[in-house]
Amino acid sequence: MNTSVTATARLLGAGLRALLVLTVVTGIVYPLAVTGIAQGLFPGRANGSETESGGRVVGSSLIGQAYNLPLKDGQETPEPDLQWFQGRPANGLGTNSVNTQYELILSGATNRSADNAELVAWVRAARAAVVEDNSVPGYTVDPADVPADAVTSSGSGLDPHISPEYAELQVHRVAERNGLSAARVRELVAAHTEGRTLGFLGEPRVNVLELNVALKELAAGH
Protein backbone atom coordinates (compact mmCIF):
# COMPACT_ATOMS: atom_id res chain seq x y z
CA MET A 1 0.00 0.00 0.00
CA ASN A 2 2.78 2.41 0.92
CA THR A 3 4.59 1.56 -2.30
CA SER A 4 1.47 2.39 -4.33
CA VAL A 5 1.00 5.72 -2.56
CA THR A 6 4.66 6.58 -3.03
CA ALA A 7 4.52 5.77 -6.75
CA THR A 8 1.36 7.85 -7.16
CA ALA A 9 2.95 10.75 -5.33
CA ARG A 10 6.01 10.53 -7.55
CA LEU A 11 3.85 10.57 -10.68
CA LEU A 12 1.86 13.54 -9.43
CA GLY A 13 5.07 15.36 -8.53
CA ALA A 14 6.59 14.68 -11.94
CA GLY A 15 3.40 15.83 -13.66
CA LEU A 16 3.28 19.00 -11.58
CA ARG A 17 6.92 19.79 -12.33
CA ALA A 18 6.35 19.20 -16.06
CA LEU A 19 3.30 21.48 -15.94
CA LEU A 20 5.24 24.24 -14.23
CA VAL A 21 8.20 23.96 -16.63
CA LEU A 22 6.00 23.94 -19.73
CA THR A 23 3.96 26.85 -18.38
CA VAL A 24 7.09 28.93 -17.89
CA VAL A 25 8.62 27.94 -21.24
CA THR A 26 5.54 28.17 -23.46
CA GLY A 27 3.60 30.77 -21.50
CA ILE A 28 6.37 33.20 -20.57
CA VAL A 29 9.77 32.54 -22.16
CA TYR A 30 8.56 31.76 -25.70
CA PRO A 31 6.08 34.69 -25.97
CA LEU A 32 8.69 37.11 -24.62
CA ALA A 33 11.31 35.78 -27.04
CA VAL A 34 8.97 36.05 -30.04
CA THR A 35 7.87 39.53 -28.98
CA GLY A 36 11.47 40.67 -28.53
CA ILE A 37 12.53 39.31 -31.93
CA ALA A 38 9.51 40.91 -33.64
CA GLN A 39 10.15 44.26 -31.98
CA GLY A 40 13.79 44.11 -33.02
CA LEU A 41 13.26 43.07 -36.65
CA PHE A 42 10.00 44.81 -37.65
CA PRO A 43 8.54 46.89 -34.80
CA GLY A 44 5.99 48.63 -37.04
CA ARG A 45 4.33 45.39 -38.09
CA ALA A 46 4.63 43.90 -34.62
CA ASN A 47 2.69 46.84 -33.20
CA GLY A 48 -0.17 46.51 -35.68
CA SER A 49 1.12 48.56 -38.65
CA GLU A 50 -0.12 51.75 -37.03
CA THR A 51 -0.56 54.86 -39.18
CA GLU A 52 -0.01 58.26 -37.58
CA SER A 53 -1.23 61.72 -38.50
CA GLY A 54 -0.53 64.88 -36.55
CA GLY A 55 1.41 62.97 -33.92
CA ARG A 56 -1.36 60.50 -33.08
CA VAL A 57 -2.35 57.06 -34.28
CA VAL A 58 -5.32 57.25 -36.65
CA GLY A 59 -5.61 53.58 -37.61
CA SER A 60 -3.88 50.55 -39.03
CA SER A 61 -2.77 50.29 -42.64
CA LEU A 62 -4.02 46.70 -42.61
CA ILE A 63 -7.65 47.35 -41.65
CA GLY A 64 -10.19 49.50 -43.46
CA GLN A 65 -12.24 52.10 -41.66
CA ALA A 66 -15.22 54.34 -42.35
CA TYR A 67 -14.89 58.04 -43.19
CA ASN A 68 -18.29 59.30 -42.14
CA LEU A 69 -19.90 62.45 -40.81
CA PRO A 70 -21.01 62.40 -37.15
CA LEU A 71 -24.48 61.01 -36.60
CA LYS A 72 -27.24 63.58 -36.22
CA ASP A 73 -30.07 63.28 -33.70
CA GLY A 74 -32.35 60.41 -34.66
CA GLN A 75 -30.08 59.33 -37.51
CA GLU A 76 -29.24 55.62 -37.62
CA THR A 77 -27.09 55.37 -40.74
CA PRO A 78 -24.10 57.74 -41.02
CA GLU A 79 -23.43 59.66 -44.21
CA PRO A 80 -19.98 59.54 -45.84
CA ASP A 81 -17.74 62.55 -45.31
CA LEU A 82 -17.14 63.45 -48.93
CA GLN A 83 -14.06 65.49 -48.09
CA TRP A 84 -12.16 62.20 -47.94
CA PHE A 85 -11.53 59.30 -50.24
CA GLN A 86 -13.97 56.53 -49.43
CA GLY A 87 -13.11 52.86 -49.09
CA ARG A 88 -15.11 49.86 -50.18
CA PRO A 89 -18.72 49.89 -48.93
CA ALA A 90 -19.35 48.50 -45.48
CA ASN A 91 -22.71 50.03 -44.61
CA GLY A 92 -25.14 47.56 -46.10
CA LEU A 93 -25.30 49.15 -49.55
CA GLY A 94 -23.78 47.10 -52.32
CA THR A 95 -21.95 44.89 -49.88
CA ASN A 96 -21.43 41.16 -49.79
CA SER A 97 -20.20 41.47 -46.23
CA VAL A 98 -22.17 41.49 -43.00
CA ASN A 99 -19.92 44.23 -41.63
CA THR A 100 -21.74 47.50 -41.01
CA GLN A 101 -19.01 49.83 -39.72
CA TYR A 102 -15.71 48.04 -40.25
CA GLU A 103 -16.13 46.46 -36.82
CA LEU A 104 -13.66 43.60 -36.44
CA ILE A 105 -16.11 41.34 -34.63
CA LEU A 106 -18.44 41.47 -37.65
CA SER A 107 -15.90 40.44 -40.25
CA GLY A 108 -17.38 37.99 -42.71
CA ALA A 109 -19.59 37.55 -45.74
CA THR A 110 -23.29 36.90 -46.27
CA ASN A 111 -22.60 34.29 -48.97
CA ARG A 112 -25.34 35.68 -51.23
CA SER A 113 -25.14 34.49 -54.81
CA ALA A 114 -24.46 36.93 -57.64
CA ASP A 115 -28.10 36.78 -58.76
CA ASN A 116 -29.56 37.26 -55.28
CA ALA A 117 -32.31 39.89 -55.55
CA GLU A 118 -31.29 41.68 -52.35
CA LEU A 119 -27.64 41.81 -53.35
CA VAL A 120 -28.53 43.10 -56.82
CA ALA A 121 -30.65 45.85 -55.21
CA TRP A 122 -27.76 46.79 -52.91
CA VAL A 123 -25.33 47.02 -55.81
CA ARG A 124 -27.67 49.18 -57.87
CA ALA A 125 -28.31 51.50 -54.93
CA ALA A 126 -24.59 51.72 -54.19
CA ARG A 127 -23.78 52.52 -57.83
CA ALA A 128 -26.38 55.30 -57.87
CA ALA A 129 -24.90 56.72 -54.66
CA VAL A 130 -21.36 56.62 -56.10
CA VAL A 131 -22.51 58.45 -59.23
CA GLU A 132 -24.36 61.09 -57.21
CA ASP A 133 -21.63 61.65 -54.63
CA ASN A 134 -18.79 61.92 -57.12
CA SER A 135 -20.46 64.00 -59.84
CA VAL A 136 -19.46 67.64 -59.45
CA PRO A 137 -19.84 70.70 -61.68
CA GLY A 138 -17.88 70.02 -64.84
CA TYR A 139 -17.53 66.31 -64.17
CA THR A 140 -20.30 63.69 -64.27
CA VAL A 141 -19.63 60.08 -63.42
CA ASP A 142 -20.78 57.58 -66.02
CA PRO A 143 -22.46 54.62 -64.25
CA ALA A 144 -20.57 52.31 -66.61
CA ASP A 145 -17.30 53.62 -65.18
CA VAL A 146 -18.10 52.63 -61.58
CA PRO A 147 -15.71 49.75 -60.69
CA ALA A 148 -16.82 46.67 -58.82
CA ASP A 149 -14.96 47.55 -55.61
CA ALA A 150 -16.97 50.79 -55.35
CA VAL A 151 -20.18 48.82 -54.88
CA THR A 152 -19.06 45.59 -53.18
CA SER A 153 -16.98 44.93 -50.10
CA SER A 154 -14.21 42.38 -49.81
CA GLY A 155 -14.90 38.94 -48.40
CA SER A 156 -13.83 40.03 -44.92
CA GLY A 157 -15.36 43.48 -45.17
CA LEU A 158 -12.13 44.90 -43.71
CA ASP A 159 -10.05 45.51 -46.85
CA PRO A 160 -8.14 48.82 -46.48
CA HIS A 161 -7.48 49.11 -50.22
CA ILE A 162 -9.40 50.28 -53.27
CA SER A 163 -8.53 49.98 -56.94
CA PRO A 164 -6.75 52.86 -58.72
CA GLU A 165 -9.89 53.15 -60.88
CA TYR A 166 -12.10 53.82 -57.85
CA ALA A 167 -9.58 56.31 -56.47
CA GLU A 168 -9.48 58.09 -59.84
CA LEU A 169 -13.29 58.28 -59.91
CA GLN A 170 -13.20 60.18 -56.59
CA VAL A 171 -10.50 62.68 -57.61
CA HIS A 172 -12.78 65.50 -58.81
CA ARG A 173 -15.04 65.35 -55.76
CA VAL A 174 -12.11 65.26 -53.31
CA ALA A 175 -10.38 68.11 -55.14
CA GLU A 176 -13.48 70.30 -55.01
CA ARG A 177 -14.17 69.60 -51.33
CA ASN A 178 -10.58 70.43 -50.33
CA GLY A 179 -10.01 73.41 -52.63
CA LEU A 180 -7.35 71.60 -54.62
CA SER A 181 -6.82 71.05 -58.33
CA ALA A 182 -7.83 67.70 -59.77
CA ALA A 183 -4.35 67.37 -61.26
CA ARG A 184 -2.71 67.70 -57.83
CA VAL A 185 -5.04 65.16 -56.25
CA ARG A 186 -4.47 62.80 -59.16
CA GLU A 187 -0.72 63.03 -58.54
CA LEU A 188 -1.37 62.14 -54.92
CA VAL A 189 -3.29 59.04 -55.96
CA ALA A 190 -0.52 58.00 -58.35
CA ALA A 191 2.08 58.41 -55.61
CA HIS A 192 0.09 56.10 -53.30
CA THR A 193 -0.74 53.43 -55.86
CA GLU A 194 0.97 50.13 -55.06
CA GLY A 195 1.80 47.68 -57.84
CA ARG A 196 1.30 43.93 -57.86
CA THR A 197 3.21 42.06 -55.18
CA LEU A 198 6.46 40.74 -56.67
CA GLY A 199 5.27 42.14 -59.97
CA PHE A 200 2.62 39.49 -60.64
CA LEU A 201 0.59 38.70 -57.51
CA GLY A 202 -2.70 40.48 -56.87
CA GLU A 203 -3.81 43.74 -58.43
CA PRO A 204 -2.63 47.38 -58.23
CA ARG A 205 -4.20 49.01 -55.17
CA VAL A 206 -4.42 52.18 -53.11
CA ASN A 207 -4.42 52.21 -49.31
CA VAL A 208 -7.27 54.57 -48.40
CA LEU A 209 -6.03 55.50 -44.93
CA GLU A 210 -2.54 56.38 -46.11
CA LEU A 211 -3.99 58.32 -49.05
CA ASN A 212 -6.28 60.33 -46.75
CA VAL A 213 -3.41 61.10 -44.37
CA ALA A 214 -1.42 62.46 -47.31
CA LEU A 215 -4.49 64.37 -48.51
CA LYS A 216 -4.87 66.01 -45.10
CA GLU A 217 -1.24 67.16 -45.17
CA LEU A 218 -1.62 68.45 -48.72
CA ALA A 219 -4.81 70.36 -47.93
CA ALA A 220 -3.28 71.85 -44.77
CA GLY A 221 -0.32 73.19 -46.71
CA HIS A 222 -2.40 74.49 -49.59
Looking at per-residue pLDDT, the higher value among 76 and 69 belongs to 69
Instruction: Look up the pTM and report it.
Output: 0.79
Provide mean pLDDT across the span 198-206.
Answer: 91
pLDDT at site 181: 95
pLDDT at site 97: 44
Backbone Cα Rg of the chain? 25
Tell me the per-residue pLDDT of 131-164, one tens digit each, with 9 for 90 and over: 999 999 999 999 999 999 999 887 777 889 999 9
Looking at per-residue pLDDT, the higher value among 76 and 187 belongs to 187
pLDDT band at 190 (very low <50, low <70, confident <90, very high): very high
pLDDT at site 199: 87
pLDDT at site 93: 44
pLDDT at site 156: 75
Is residue 202 scored above 80 in pLDDT? yes
pLDDT band at 70 (very low <50, low <70, confident <90, very high): confident
pLDDT at site 27: 94
Is residue 95 scored above 60 in pLDDT? no
Among 177, 171, 178, which residue's Cα sits nearest to residue 193? 171
Tell me which long-range contacts 134-140 makes (C-beta under 8 A, separation of at least 24): 134/169, 134/170, 134/172, 134/173, 135/173, 136/172, 136/173, 136/176, 137/176, 138/172, 139/172, 139/182
Provide mean pLDDT across the span 12-21.
Answer: 92
pLDDT at site 91: 46
Is residue 100 scored above 60 in pLDDT? no
Among 190, 94, 91, 83, which residue's Cα sits nearest to residue 133? 83
What percentage of the chain reaches a pLDDT higher than 90?
Answer: 48
Q: φ and ψ at 81, to 5 degrees?
A: -85, 105
